[in-house]
Structure 1
């Protein structure tokens, strides 16, 4: 016997997350190749050992019942059917970075050698392995991340639309909207997050199930105050409602920037009627498009939506009823339940966050190199967190600063973003040090708008009484100038649009064709049997529920426009309602490409910069027309994809589509009304949206929105990018996006088995500096890389059962602990009259020197008193 010609069993590679397998023995006399599977293979485990059995079950992300079902399915599946499925699987996942590359290569090797399928008795283990892959593809999810969190079963009789679920969900929506909108004006912002709602909903729902009587009545069906135990579908319904509202609405940009004196100073924006109408218009829009995108972004198994998995994991933790022991680090077996780990993780993070969040704030922005010489301009520019590029190998001890996405985004996504950030940082430094575009006279990474003296740009100095650009005033005052970071960020944003469009065309056009084929079948061939690989088991389970009629979504394309027209025409906005209509053309073209990117990688591709350019050309010099155009051109796609992500949550949880639809509508109405009634309170806080603001309410997002509005809407792209204008070269970003993806596509076709190229994602690379936009930098993301490498590349590879049980639960626990700690710090310590603060070096050092000022210019203003072209000479 020899092992020189051994091959690996593909499913073992997949089931054990690409673990190394033992080589197979080969029969020299027959040249037989076969694959041995390690003793932890799920189908050959020693069932006498409970812990080994539990670990093996977790390695494919299933329970024992599902394991038995898989074994039964393998026995009845024919080789011919397995080959058909594997061919489709190989084609569908050829360019899918979430699908293990080793597994894909082994499937291709099997398909390329027909003698294996033709002689099953000679290759029993290989045949069994290939059948198992085919079964997993049709009866579960092809992705281990999904299998460890989502059960491939459903109980259609389980109550969902219960009185207690609606009551808890609506109350949570109101509370979450108020708090998250408030904290969205803070730097860094603090979001409660869906996980807090999930945590609080469980004991409340369980309490209601214990104490409420079973009073029944009929109203569009039978209802009960207490239909039984609080279940996972009710829990997820509440989570979906919270997911819509536990964030700040887009109007938190629009209303303050229009209303406040340091921005555009438009008094009508303080009126409640306007705030409510514009909030309803903005927040309701997107549902119509979301309904049309289900075939492309919800039903396919490749649409993972990585960010949703921690939400699913937490619900599973509370309702699974299974507490299997798992082998983990230090060669120990861990028996703590998911619920216990969640509670411990939340409490630990709550206590810990008190230090970077309040007691020792330098731990958050750990810009330790700038503390050596706080006034050193170059040191701050390179290493500073608040005032530079954040090139610091360990910039924070604050989980909140990095956002925690390293625990749920795939490694290739995180690594590509970090690589893009590093390249962008080098470009920004080169632009700043060469004084390109006069950036040397300004802070390197500011998102502000400056005049030719280096001061903040006073936009009111160039506007007439109607809020439009006055050319004479503009010539007498100054051109707008922008920091190197903001300029380079925009260049990468330009590249991201062309890259996303070309990437989806080159790599996902067949997926889109399958989606349109499904739409065609849904309208014209209702009874046609669908291929059981085109949509996964979760789609097939959802087919038992009635779908939402298409006219519901059509109505939601019309209603928000009516609210928007009322807001624009009913108040002295000096804008035309036409902006609402032609603003919809851009998302209609681009929403599908960017939706595919987000559903696969977890990285959103926002259309805001593209909307800036087009809106600026159309509405040059008219502030509000530009704002409304941008709102519809950009936000409609953003909202639609947010709603689609929630539809995927419901898809995973098997919540009937009609119930999900009405839950989303109710939550959005609460969201819009509560947030709109809150703005005047926030804008009345002392020194809000200034550097002197209490509680760090310095409004970084509003300032960026204001800068973008000046950049694109008031001055207009013609004065910025026209022939001979100072920012004309920034337009090179558009063709660079095409070129980058084209080169990558050519390399992938030339080297189809390259693991390195398969791990590269050009859109994720380009989106790195766009996602972490100025004034943020690498320091805000490097922690995600460390977390991800430890979680996905160490724990997952060495202790898959341990990782599968706890990774997503810990992600939810940490986010929840930070949110609760943030609320406690703000409301209990900082907000009360004479609020508590700790005056010591650990809190004050972050405000010293250039770092505390948000960066310092490298060059002094010339003796003539200004830099750039002389006033009056602007072409």
Structure 2
């Protein structure tokens, strides 16, 4: 029997060697029994019992799960172990979330034929590889997922209950109303999903205690009170809140079309138009998300790191077990997840009053510029509001981060690569600014504004024909070319690079996963072929107990929103071609899968807004409305589709039936669309709204920026920026830059396959650094994420894994919740009664407004005596 097994396995190993594309010489070594802590420290001891894990919490599991894994371990054969490890190597060879050292140990295991010939001599490595095979098939290969997601399910646990739907619907109405209304304010106020999760729990528990168990039948049996409020109900409410607790894209489009200070188009006040456009905009992403779920939701490699905070918060309230864990200072910590969440929420709620209201200098801690507030160079380099934020300690405010709390849930490689990208971009910005390239020395170093040749904000209406609203070439030539700051120029170059880098990176490193996904689709459609061992992880196998949503449902959601959009565009005097909608579909068709894979693995979204501006502006030159509709399909559709994939992953992790999730998403979106569309006329009727005189700071900064962008890209058009002979033509070199970066990286990875450093380099994240902190944001808005992440992931996780597993994500969710609650109290209780006053009048709040920092940056050069810089009016076209 042993000889036959060896004869079968050795050719199998040889066949796989050719697929690994690694320099595998001298890799047939024995691995240590201890697997590194980065992946999930554990020690497998093989003796008479055959299995022993030194501390089950070191696996990122609880005691019950550890016992289940032990039973599976005993049943795991060597043949099956080799097969699974083969698939793991192929799946994770380019996965930066997977331990590089462990991957090399796996390759060594596969390339050592003596293991098959003499398994008794290699008990240690066989035990370790068996454990990895067990974790990969029965839980997750990632400790972050094991820490938060249970690999078990109770199919009898109700999710679609009357109380869950009631709470979810009420939350959708309130959340949609508040977020859309205060999206017109500066700064905006948003409730946030974490607040909905926090409030939903006591309401759900209260209803479970007081409601009677009245049962009735309507498409099945239902009860007013089916038992204790559970995690599936809680997550269903969270998913509905996640959809509706934000301002929709129409809050840009409709006010900009309707209001007199913008385009003054009366048809945009029509409620029928507002509703049709809202439904078209908000529903379209579902079709794409549903059709891509086999690539972006089901695979275990699609972690979606940003979902883990949400899952951790639900788990904190519903976890029954509470094991003591060892932690810092040699102590055992026994506090439950729920207690830690409540304590951390209260602590952050109180603390945020200081940087948020009492002492705002703690938020933008630009201490170096306080030394010499009027020093232009110092502010350009170190300023938080006016410069590049090259400040080693720029804030004491958790909310200051561009991605709030990302340090506690994004992987280290993603944050570190972004910070390196930001620093590279900062050096480029300084070089451009100090050399006055593109006349940037006459402007602030890091602004997202558009300027004229006097250094003033570009007055887009001064180049428009008063009768037609289109660009007047004579007015344009007599006024000024548009000019960008150094920071905005470098941001655009890296944005262009991020698109080509994403596309080429996914092709070179994830094409096997894409092929694997298509094979799964083929098998599901035609029931042909044998599944690979890791084709479907434990979570997907558990979800197969539930009826899937038919693909034609999602196909309908591709067609129906397009119909709504065509009706809105063609049925009202928009003067825009319906074709703009269909042109916009080209972008998501090309980019959504690569961008989705990047976001699912790294947690960082790559938005298509800049590319949509460039391509849409070129196609629809002179047509402002056409560009708006192009962007809806070209940019927003992919953004929303990936957001819906994120929600599908939440349901996947908690094991909510797909049809229930689908229903919840559709209901939440319909409520979200109807409520927001019914608000617009009310909001636009507020006295002085969207002007500097607006009460409660309803000055519409987002809408004004959108208006400027549409005029700039849609009417002036990219041809006057990037066309042949135009001043910003060289910025298009960002597109080949992305290809070159990924190509060089691919060559280096193949030349040095065992380099742990190269494994943590991610060219797309390097590009996304300067894109994530687009002007006027800078390093100050991100560096604290790196500090937090290094402390959490590289110190606490490696030294106290059980402690980290239990509390890391709970604390992240708690801090976000505390800030959201505190911000609401500050606004409604302290600012509104004072007529919108932002803070207390004292040095700790006023120092941030001194000098160049208070002006958002100062130019380095004075305007020449002729009164303008750059080409003379009339000498350009």
TM-score by length of 1: 0.93
Structure 1 residues 712 and 378, CA gap change in structure 2 (3 angstroms): same
**Structure 1 pair 669–7 and aligned structure 2 pair: CA distance change class (3 A):** same
CA contact (8 A) 2:255 2:684 kept: yes
Of the three residues 21, 44, 52, the one matched with 2:52 is: 44
- Structure 1 equivalent of residue 525 of structure 2: 523
Helix, strand or coil: the match of 1:306? coil
- Using the alignment, how far apart are the partners of 1:772 and 1:694 within structure 2? 30
Q: How does 1:87-102 map to 2 (within 5 A)?
A: 87-102=86-101
Question: Which residue in 2 is equivalent to 1:492?
Answer: 494
Residue in structure 1 matched with residue 5 of structure 2 by the alignment: none
* 1:531-546 to 2 correspondences below 5 Å: 531-546=532-547
Q: What residue is the counterpart of 1:24 in the other structure?
A: none
**SS state at 2:534 partner:** coil
Change over 3 Å in CA distance of 1:340–1:441 after alignment to 2:
same
Deviation larger for 262-271 or 809-818: 262-271
> Structure 1 residues 782 and 854 mapped into 2: Cα distance closer, same or farther (>3 Å)?
same
- Alpha-carbon contact 2:592-2:638 (below 8 Å) kept: yes
Contact 1:16 1:60 in 2 (8 A): no
1:397 to 1:263, Cα distance in 2 relative to 1, 3 A:
farther
Match of 1:53 in 2: none
Alignment of 1:715 with 2:716, yes or no, is yes
CA distance 1:661–1:59, shift in 2 (3 Å):
same
* Cα distance in 1 for residues equivalent to 2:265 and 2:456: 23
Stretch deviating more after TM superposition (149-158 or 742-751): 149-158
The residue aligned with 1:608 is 609
SS in 1 for 2:216: strand
Q: Residue 25 of structure 1 corresponds to which residue in structure 2?
A: none
Secondary structure at the residue paired with 1:371?
A: helix
Partner of 1:562: 563
Superposed, 1:110-189 pairs within 5 Å as 110-186=109-185, 189=188
Q: Which residue of 465, 468, 480 maps to 1:466?
A: 468
Structure 1 CA distance, aligned partners of 2:520 and 2:594? 18
The answer to whether 1:222 aligns with 2:221 is yes
CA contact (8 A) 1:448 1:707 kept: no
Q: Is the 8 A contact 2:37 2:798 kept in 1?
A: no
Quote the offset at 1:336 in angstroms: 0.5
After TM superposition, give the deviation of residue 125 of structure 1 in Å. Answer: 2.3
Q: CA deviation at 1:769?
A: 1.1
Distance 2:144 2:752 in 1: 27
Partner of 1:284: 283
**1:378/1:698 CA distance change after superposition, 3 Å:** farther
Task: Decide whether the 8 Å contact of 1:428 with 1:485 is kept in 2.
Answer: yes
How far did 1:397 drift?
0.9
Which shows bigger deviation, 154-163 or 731-740? 154-163
Would you say the 8 A contact 2:442–2:863 is kept in 1? yes
Tell me if structure 1 keeps the 8 A contact 2:287–2:554: yes
Q: Shift of residue 271 of structure 1?
A: 4.4
Between 274-283 and 723-732, the greater mean CA deviation after superposition: 274-283
Residue-by-residue CA offset, 1:623-674 (whole Å, 9 max, x unaligned):
1111111121011101111101111111111111011001000111111222
The gaps in structure 2 that reach 5 residues or longer are 1-26
Deviations 1:244-276 (A, max 9, x none): 122222223323433455544445444444333
Q: Distance in 1 between matches of 2:669 and 2:449?
A: 32
- CA 1:801/1:315 → structure 2, altered by over 3 Å: closer, same or farther? same
Partner of 1:786: 787
- Name the counterpart of 2:35: 13
Given the superposition, is the C-alpha separation of residues 736 and 687 from structure 1 closer, same or farther in structure 2, using an over 3 Å criterion?
A: farther
Match of 1:366 in 2: 365
Question: SS where residue 832 of structure 1 aligns?
Answer: helix
Check conservation: 1:9, 1:36, Cα contact below 8 A: no
Which range moved further: 188-197 or 767-776? 188-197
RMSD: 2.3
Q: How does 1:655-694 map to 2 (within 5 A)?
A: 655-680=656-681, 682=683
Bigger Cα displacement from structure 2, 342-351 vs 280-289: 280-289
Q: State the match for 1:512 in structure 2.
A: 514
Which deviates further from its counterpart, 810-819 or 567-576?
567-576
Q: Name the CA distance, whole Å, in 2 between partners of 1:335 and 1:605.
A: 40
Equivalent position SS for 1:678: helix
- Closer/same/farther in 2, CA of residues 673 and 833 from structure 1, 3 Å limit: farther
Q: CA deviation at 1:187?
A: 5.5
Moved more, 207-216 or 440-449: 440-449
Counterpart residue number, 1:305 = 304
Partner of 1:638: 639
Q: 2: CA distance between counterparts of 1:767 and 1:269?
A: 36
- What is aligned with 2:21? none
Q: Measure the CA separation in 1 of the matches of 2:869 and 2:649.
A: 52
Alpha-carbon distance in structure 1 between the residues aligned to 2:63 and 2:551: 40
Match of 2:9 in 1: none
Give TM-score, length-normalised by structure 2: 0.93
Q: Quote the offset at 1:228 in angstroms.
A: 0.8
Q: Which moved more, 1:690-699 or 1:844-853?
A: 690-699
Deviations 1:63-122 (CA, angstroms, capped at 9, x unpaired) = 222211211112122111110110110111000000011111111111111102321211
Q: Within 2, Cα distance between the matches of 1:108 and 1:513?
A: 22
Partners in 1 of 2:688 and 2:747 — Cα distance? 54
- Residue 697 of structure 1 deviates from its aligned partner by 5.5
Which residue of 844, 865, 868 maps to 1:863? 865
Aligned length: 846
Q: 1:331 to 1:703 in 2, by over 3 A?
A: farther
- Superimposed CA distance per residue, residues 322-351 of structure 1 (whole angstroms, 9 cap, x where no aligned partner): 111111111111111000000000000000
Task: Measure the CA separation in 1 of the matches of 2:146 and 2:36.
Answer: 12
Distance in 2 (alpha carbons) for counterparts of 1:390 and 1:138 = 45
Report how far residue 552 of structure 1 moved: 1.1
SS state at 2:369 partner: coil
Shift in alpha-carbon separation, 1:869–1:685, aligned structure 2, 3 A: farther
CA distance in 2, matches of 1:657, 1:91: 29
Query: Matched residue of 1:148: which SS?
Result: helix
Separation in 2 of the partners of 1:760 and 1:348? 36
Partners of 2:583 and 2:548 lie apart in 1 by 30
Q: Contact between 1:188 and 1:401, CA under 8 Å: does it hold in 2?
A: no
Moved more, 106-115 or 710-719: 710-719
Aligned to 1:314: 313
CA contact (8 A) 1:15 1:60 kept: no
How far 1:691 moved relative to its partner? 6.8
C-alpha distance in 2 between matches for 1:753 and 1:349: 43
Equivalent residues in 2 for 1:90-489, closer than 5 Å:
90-186=89-185, 189-260=188-259, 263-402=262-401, 403-464=404-465, 465-489=467-491
1:737 aligns with 738
* Counterpart-to-counterpart distance in 1, 2:188 and 2:800: 35
Contact 1:11 1:130 in 2 (8 A): no
Change (3 A) 1:701 1:485: farther
Moved more, 307-316 or 862-871: 862-871
Say yes or no: does 1:800 pair with 2:801.
yes
Shift, 1:513, TM fit: 0.3
Counterparts in 2 of 1:285 and 1:354: CA distance versus 1, 3 Å: same
What is the match of residue 52 of structure 1?
none
How far apart are 1:690 and its partner, in Å? Answer: 6.2
Q: Distance in 1 between matches of 2:489 and 2:694?
A: 27
Q: Provide the rounded CA distance (Å) in 1 between the counterparts of 2:842 and 2:728.
A: 44
What residue ranges of structure 1 are gaps of 5+ in the alignment? 22-34, 47-55
Q: 1:711 aligns to what SS in structure 2? A: helix
* Distance verdict in 2 for CA 1:774–1:460, change over 3 Å: same
TM-superposed deviation, 1:222: 1.2
CA offset digits 1:580-624 (Å, max 9, x no partner) = 112111111111011000000011111111111111111112111
Question: Is the contact made by 1:178 and 1:674 (CA closer than 8 Å) also made in structure 2?
Answer: yes
Distance in 2, Cα, partners of 1:228 & 1:835: 45
Deviation of 1:511 (Å): 0.3
**Residues 256, 679 of structure 1: 8 Å contact kept:** yes
Contact 1:616 1:713 in 2 (8 A): yes
Out of 369-378 and 683-692, give the one that drifted further.
683-692
Structure 1 position 627 matched with structure 2 position 663: no
